[in-house]
Amino acid sequence: MKQICVVYNPRIPQAAPLAEEVARWLEAKKLKVSLGSTEEPSPKPPVKDCDLLLVLGGDGSILRTAHAAAAHQAPILGVNLGRVGFLAEARPENWQDVVSSVLDGRHWVEERMMLRVTVRRGSKVVAQEDALNDAVVGRGTQARIIRLRVEIDGQPMTEYAVDGIVGATATGSTAYALAAGGPILSPEARSIVLVPVAPHLCAPWPLVLAEGSRILIAPTDGREAALTVDGDRPFELSPSDSVLVETSPLTTRFARVQEKEYFHRTLMARLVARRPD
Protein backbone atom coordinates (compact mmCIF):
# COMPACT_ATOMS: atom_id res chain seq x y z
CA MET A 1 0.00 0.00 0.00
CA LYS A 2 1.27 3.36 -1.07
CA GLN A 3 -1.54 5.87 -0.96
CA ILE A 4 -4.21 6.05 1.72
CA CYS A 5 -7.32 8.21 1.53
CA VAL A 6 -8.56 9.46 4.89
CA VAL A 7 -12.25 10.37 4.75
CA TYR A 8 -13.97 12.04 7.68
CA ASN A 9 -17.44 13.28 8.61
CA PRO A 10 -17.05 17.01 9.39
CA ARG A 11 -20.31 17.00 11.39
CA ILE A 12 -18.69 14.88 14.11
CA PRO A 13 -16.49 17.24 16.16
CA GLN A 14 -13.73 14.72 16.88
CA ALA A 15 -13.47 13.59 13.25
CA ALA A 16 -11.36 16.42 11.75
CA PRO A 17 -8.67 16.42 14.49
CA LEU A 18 -8.50 12.63 14.33
CA ALA A 19 -8.13 12.82 10.55
CA GLU A 20 -5.15 15.13 11.04
CA GLU A 21 -3.63 12.77 13.59
CA VAL A 22 -4.14 9.74 11.36
CA ALA A 23 -2.69 11.56 8.37
CA ARG A 24 0.49 12.54 10.28
CA TRP A 25 0.83 8.98 11.60
CA LEU A 26 0.56 7.56 8.07
CA GLU A 27 2.96 10.15 6.60
CA ALA A 28 5.47 9.24 9.30
CA LYS A 29 5.32 5.75 7.78
CA LYS A 30 6.23 7.24 4.37
CA LEU A 31 2.74 6.72 2.97
CA LYS A 32 1.07 9.21 0.66
CA VAL A 33 -2.13 10.57 2.23
CA SER A 34 -5.09 12.36 0.68
CA LEU A 35 -7.95 13.81 2.72
CA GLY A 36 -11.66 13.79 1.86
CA SER A 37 -14.95 14.70 3.47
CA THR A 38 -18.27 12.89 3.40
CA GLU A 39 -20.19 16.16 3.15
CA GLU A 40 -20.61 18.47 0.20
CA PRO A 41 -19.39 20.99 -0.86
CA SER A 42 -16.11 19.60 0.45
CA PRO A 43 -14.14 17.80 -2.22
CA LYS A 44 -15.22 14.19 -2.73
CA PRO A 45 -12.63 11.74 -1.49
CA PRO A 46 -10.06 11.09 -4.28
CA VAL A 47 -10.71 7.37 -4.15
CA LYS A 48 -9.37 6.61 -7.60
CA ASP A 49 -5.69 6.35 -6.81
CA CYS A 50 -5.93 5.02 -3.27
CA ASP A 51 -5.08 1.59 -1.92
CA LEU A 52 -7.16 1.96 1.23
CA LEU A 53 -10.01 4.22 2.34
CA LEU A 54 -9.89 5.05 6.02
CA VAL A 55 -13.31 6.37 7.06
CA LEU A 56 -13.66 8.27 10.33
CA GLY A 57 -17.37 8.46 11.16
CA GLY A 58 -20.46 6.33 11.62
CA ASP A 59 -22.26 3.83 9.37
CA GLY A 60 -23.68 6.77 7.39
CA SER A 61 -20.19 8.03 6.55
CA ILE A 62 -19.17 4.56 5.41
CA LEU A 63 -22.28 4.31 3.21
CA ARG A 64 -21.38 7.57 1.48
CA THR A 65 -17.80 6.51 0.95
CA ALA A 66 -18.99 3.15 -0.39
CA HIS A 67 -20.89 4.96 -3.13
CA ALA A 68 -17.77 6.79 -4.21
CA ALA A 69 -15.58 3.72 -3.92
CA ALA A 70 -17.72 1.00 -5.48
CA ALA A 71 -16.33 1.46 -8.98
CA HIS A 72 -12.76 1.10 -7.66
CA GLN A 73 -10.85 -1.63 -5.92
CA ALA A 74 -9.65 0.03 -2.72
CA PRO A 75 -11.16 -1.53 0.41
CA ILE A 76 -12.75 0.54 3.16
CA LEU A 77 -11.64 0.49 6.77
CA GLY A 78 -14.03 2.23 9.15
CA VAL A 79 -13.00 3.80 12.44
CA ASN A 80 -16.27 4.11 14.30
CA LEU A 81 -17.07 7.55 15.71
CA GLY A 82 -20.83 7.04 15.82
CA ARG A 83 -22.90 4.66 17.85
CA VAL A 84 -21.65 1.08 17.73
CA GLY A 85 -21.68 0.52 14.01
CA PHE A 86 -22.29 -2.52 11.87
CA LEU A 87 -19.72 -1.63 9.21
CA ALA A 88 -16.68 -0.25 11.04
CA GLU A 89 -13.72 -2.43 11.97
CA ALA A 90 -11.83 -0.17 14.39
CA ARG A 91 -12.58 2.20 17.26
CA PRO A 92 -10.85 5.46 18.20
CA GLU A 93 -9.01 3.53 20.92
CA ASN A 94 -7.48 0.88 18.68
CA TRP A 95 -7.20 2.36 15.20
CA GLN A 96 -3.38 2.27 15.23
CA ASP A 97 -3.31 -1.50 15.88
CA VAL A 98 -5.95 -2.21 13.27
CA VAL A 99 -4.42 0.03 10.59
CA SER A 100 -0.97 -1.40 11.31
CA SER A 101 -2.31 -4.91 10.74
CA VAL A 102 -3.79 -3.86 7.42
CA LEU A 103 -0.63 -2.07 6.31
CA ASP A 104 1.30 -5.25 7.12
CA GLY A 105 -1.15 -7.29 5.05
CA ARG A 106 -2.54 -9.18 8.03
CA HIS A 107 -6.13 -8.62 6.92
CA TRP A 108 -8.73 -10.11 4.61
CA VAL A 109 -11.14 -8.40 2.25
CA GLU A 110 -14.86 -8.88 2.76
CA GLU A 111 -16.86 -8.28 -0.38
CA ARG A 112 -20.45 -7.12 0.07
CA MET A 113 -23.10 -7.29 -2.63
CA MET A 114 -24.74 -4.04 -3.77
CA LEU A 115 -28.08 -3.39 -5.45
CA ARG A 116 -28.55 -1.56 -8.71
CA VAL A 117 -31.63 0.65 -8.57
CA THR A 118 -33.07 2.00 -11.81
CA VAL A 119 -36.01 4.37 -12.24
CA ARG A 120 -37.83 4.13 -15.56
CA ARG A 121 -40.30 6.73 -16.83
CA GLY A 122 -41.95 5.08 -19.80
CA SER A 123 -39.04 3.68 -21.80
CA LYS A 124 -36.54 6.20 -20.43
CA VAL A 125 -34.15 5.65 -17.54
CA VAL A 126 -34.44 8.78 -15.39
CA ALA A 127 -32.24 7.72 -12.48
CA GLN A 128 -29.83 4.96 -11.57
CA GLU A 129 -27.89 4.35 -8.39
CA ASP A 130 -26.14 1.57 -6.50
CA ALA A 131 -27.07 0.78 -2.91
CA LEU A 132 -25.01 -0.90 -0.24
CA ASN A 133 -27.89 -1.01 2.24
CA ASP A 134 -31.28 -0.50 0.64
CA ALA A 135 -33.70 1.14 -1.74
CA VAL A 136 -37.05 2.23 -0.31
CA VAL A 137 -40.07 3.10 -2.42
CA GLY A 138 -42.31 4.89 0.04
CA ARG A 139 -45.04 7.36 0.77
CA GLY A 140 -44.50 11.12 0.86
CA THR A 141 -44.84 13.22 4.01
CA GLN A 142 -48.49 12.34 4.55
CA ALA A 143 -48.77 9.29 6.83
CA ARG A 144 -51.12 7.55 4.45
CA ILE A 145 -50.88 4.21 2.79
CA ILE A 146 -49.88 3.97 -0.89
CA ARG A 147 -50.43 1.13 -3.32
CA LEU A 148 -47.43 -0.52 -4.93
CA ARG A 149 -47.46 -3.26 -7.53
CA VAL A 150 -44.56 -5.73 -7.42
CA GLU A 151 -43.29 -8.02 -10.15
CA ILE A 152 -40.58 -10.62 -9.67
CA ASP A 153 -38.61 -11.74 -12.72
CA GLY A 154 -41.29 -10.33 -14.99
CA GLN A 155 -44.12 -12.14 -13.21
CA PRO A 156 -46.76 -10.13 -11.35
CA MET A 157 -46.71 -11.07 -7.69
CA THR A 158 -49.05 -8.85 -5.71
CA GLU A 159 -50.17 -5.30 -4.94
CA TYR A 160 -49.23 -3.88 -1.58
CA ALA A 161 -51.05 -1.24 0.49
CA VAL A 162 -48.14 0.06 2.57
CA ASP A 163 -46.03 2.92 3.80
CA GLY A 164 -43.31 1.59 1.55
CA ILE A 165 -41.32 -1.38 0.34
CA VAL A 166 -37.68 -1.93 1.21
CA GLY A 167 -35.34 -3.80 -1.07
CA ALA A 168 -32.21 -4.53 0.95
CA THR A 169 -28.89 -6.34 0.72
CA ALA A 170 -27.53 -8.57 3.45
CA THR A 171 -25.62 -5.50 4.62
CA GLY A 172 -28.83 -3.48 4.77
CA SER A 173 -30.67 -6.25 6.58
CA THR A 174 -29.59 -4.77 9.95
CA ALA A 175 -30.70 -1.27 8.94
CA TYR A 176 -34.11 -0.04 7.80
CA ALA A 177 -35.29 -3.48 6.63
CA LEU A 178 -34.88 -4.74 10.20
CA ALA A 179 -37.08 -1.95 11.56
CA ALA A 180 -39.73 -2.98 9.04
CA GLY A 181 -39.69 -6.57 10.32
CA GLY A 182 -37.19 -8.19 7.98
CA PRO A 183 -34.71 -10.96 8.81
CA ILE A 184 -30.97 -10.54 9.45
CA LEU A 185 -28.82 -12.08 6.71
CA SER A 186 -25.25 -13.29 6.99
CA PRO A 187 -23.05 -10.67 5.34
CA GLU A 188 -21.80 -13.02 2.62
CA ALA A 189 -25.35 -13.77 1.43
CA ARG A 190 -25.93 -12.50 -2.08
CA SER A 191 -29.71 -12.45 -1.62
CA ILE A 192 -32.12 -9.54 -1.93
CA VAL A 193 -34.54 -8.94 0.92
CA LEU A 194 -37.95 -7.44 0.18
CA VAL A 195 -39.85 -6.10 3.19
CA PRO A 196 -43.18 -4.24 3.22
CA VAL A 197 -43.33 -1.33 5.69
CA ALA A 198 -46.60 -1.15 7.62
CA PRO A 199 -48.56 -3.51 5.33
CA HIS A 200 -52.27 -2.80 5.64
CA LEU A 201 -54.28 -5.99 5.19
CA CYS A 202 -51.99 -7.24 2.45
CA ALA A 203 -49.11 -9.73 2.29
CA PRO A 204 -47.00 -8.91 5.36
CA TRP A 205 -44.21 -11.44 4.81
CA PRO A 206 -40.59 -10.48 4.16
CA LEU A 207 -39.21 -12.22 1.08
CA VAL A 208 -35.63 -13.38 0.54
CA LEU A 209 -34.90 -13.53 -3.18
CA ALA A 210 -31.98 -15.11 -4.96
CA GLU A 211 -29.14 -13.10 -6.44
CA GLY A 212 -30.12 -12.30 -9.99
CA SER A 213 -33.78 -11.66 -9.18
CA ARG A 214 -35.29 -8.62 -10.84
CA ILE A 215 -37.81 -6.80 -8.65
CA LEU A 216 -40.04 -4.17 -10.18
CA ILE A 217 -41.92 -1.81 -7.87
CA ALA A 218 -44.48 0.60 -9.31
CA PRO A 219 -46.97 2.95 -7.63
CA THR A 220 -50.53 2.33 -8.85
CA ASP A 221 -52.69 4.90 -7.08
CA GLY A 222 -51.25 8.21 -8.24
CA ARG A 223 -50.33 9.29 -4.71
CA GLU A 224 -47.09 11.09 -3.89
CA ALA A 225 -44.28 8.52 -3.72
CA ALA A 226 -40.50 8.71 -3.44
CA LEU A 227 -37.41 6.54 -3.79
CA THR A 228 -34.75 6.73 -1.09
CA VAL A 229 -31.42 4.97 -1.70
CA ASP A 230 -29.22 4.27 1.33
CA GLY A 231 -31.09 6.83 3.40
CA ASP A 232 -30.01 9.71 1.18
CA ARG A 233 -32.14 12.49 -0.29
CA PRO A 234 -35.43 11.17 -1.71
CA PHE A 235 -36.09 11.06 -5.46
CA GLU A 236 -39.71 12.00 -6.22
CA LEU A 237 -41.50 9.47 -8.39
CA SER A 238 -44.00 10.38 -11.10
CA PRO A 239 -47.19 8.29 -11.31
CA SER A 240 -45.88 6.43 -14.37
CA ASP A 241 -42.45 5.61 -12.90
CA SER A 242 -41.31 2.16 -12.00
CA VAL A 243 -38.30 1.17 -9.93
CA LEU A 244 -36.21 -1.87 -10.77
CA VAL A 245 -34.10 -3.40 -8.03
CA GLU A 246 -31.53 -6.02 -8.94
CA THR A 247 -28.01 -7.21 -8.11
CA SER A 248 -25.38 -4.61 -8.97
CA PRO A 249 -22.21 -5.55 -10.82
CA LEU A 250 -20.36 -3.40 -8.26
CA THR A 251 -19.50 -4.44 -4.73
CA THR A 252 -18.22 -2.77 -1.60
CA ARG A 253 -15.00 -4.13 -0.19
CA PHE A 254 -14.06 -3.93 3.49
CA ALA A 255 -10.66 -4.57 5.03
CA ARG A 256 -11.15 -6.84 8.06
CA VAL A 257 -8.77 -7.98 10.77
CA GLN A 258 -11.33 -9.88 12.89
CA GLU A 259 -11.81 -13.61 12.39
CA LYS A 260 -14.23 -14.59 9.60
CA GLU A 261 -16.97 -15.67 12.02
CA TYR A 262 -17.07 -12.18 13.59
CA PHE A 263 -20.60 -11.36 12.44
CA HIS A 264 -22.72 -13.66 14.57
CA ARG A 265 -20.37 -13.54 17.55
CA THR A 266 -20.73 -9.76 17.80
CA LEU A 267 -24.26 -9.44 16.42
CA MET A 268 -26.21 -9.26 19.67
CA ALA A 269 -23.80 -6.77 21.23
CA ARG A 270 -24.13 -4.54 18.16
CA LEU A 271 -27.91 -4.76 18.11
CA VAL A 272 -28.22 -3.93 21.78
CA ALA A 273 -25.56 -1.21 21.72
CA ARG A 274 -27.47 0.68 19.05
CA ARG A 275 -30.59 0.92 21.22
CA PRO A 276 -31.24 4.55 22.02
CA ASP A 277 -32.24 3.98 25.64
Q: Which residues are catalytic?
A: 59
Q: Specify the residue, 10 or 183, whose C-beta has the smaller distance to a second copy.
A: 183
Residues 255-274 that bind a second copy (CB under 8 A): 261, 264-265, 267-268, 271-272, 274
# of chain residues touching a second copy (CB under 8 A):
73
Stretch that binds a second copy, among 24-32, 40-48, 116-124, 195-203 (CB under 8 A): 195-203
Q: Applying CB under 8 A, which of residues 61, 228, 251, 252 lies at the interface with a second copy?
A: 228
By CB under 8 A, tell whether 205 contacts a second copy.
yes
C-alpha 214 chain-centroid distance: 19
Q: Which of 120, 100, 11, 8 is nearest to 56 (CA)?
A: 8
By CB under 8 A, is residue 200 in contact with a second copy?
A: yes
Residue 11 binding a second copy, by CB under 8 A: no
If one counts every other C-beta atom within 10 angstroms of the C-beta of residue 119, the result is: 21
Interface with a second copy, residue 105, by CB under 8 A: no
**Of positions 42, 188, 222, 249, contacts a second copy by CB under 8 A:** 188
Closer of 28 and 268 to a second copy (Cβ): 268
Contact assessment for residue 33 and residue 6, using Cβ atoms and an 8 Å cutoff:
yes
DSSP 90: B
For a second copy, the binding residue among 40, 93, 105, 143 (CB under 8 A) is 143
- Region 156-185 residues binding a second copy, contact defined as CB under 8 A: 156-164, 166, 173, 175-176, 178-185
Report d(CA 120, CA 127) in Å as an integer: 7
Residue 208 or 250 with smaller CB distance to a second copy: 208
Please tell me the distance from the alpha carbon of residue 20 to that of residue 43, in angstroms, as a whole number. 16
Closest CB to a second copy among residues 27, 188: 188
Does 13 interact with a second copy (rule: CB under 8 A)? no
Select from 151, 29, 192, 190 the least CA-distant residue to 102.
29
Distance between CA atoms of residues 35 and 7, nearest Å: 6
Per CB under 8 A, 210 contacts a second copy: yes
CA-CA distance, 22 to 18, in Å (whole number)?
6
Asked if 112 and 192 touch (Cβ cutoff 8 Å), the reply is: no
Phi-psi region of 7 (alpha: psi -120 to 50; beta: other; left: phi over 0): beta
Whichever of 250 and 267 has its CB closer to a second copy, that residue is 267
DSSP 3-state of 29: coil
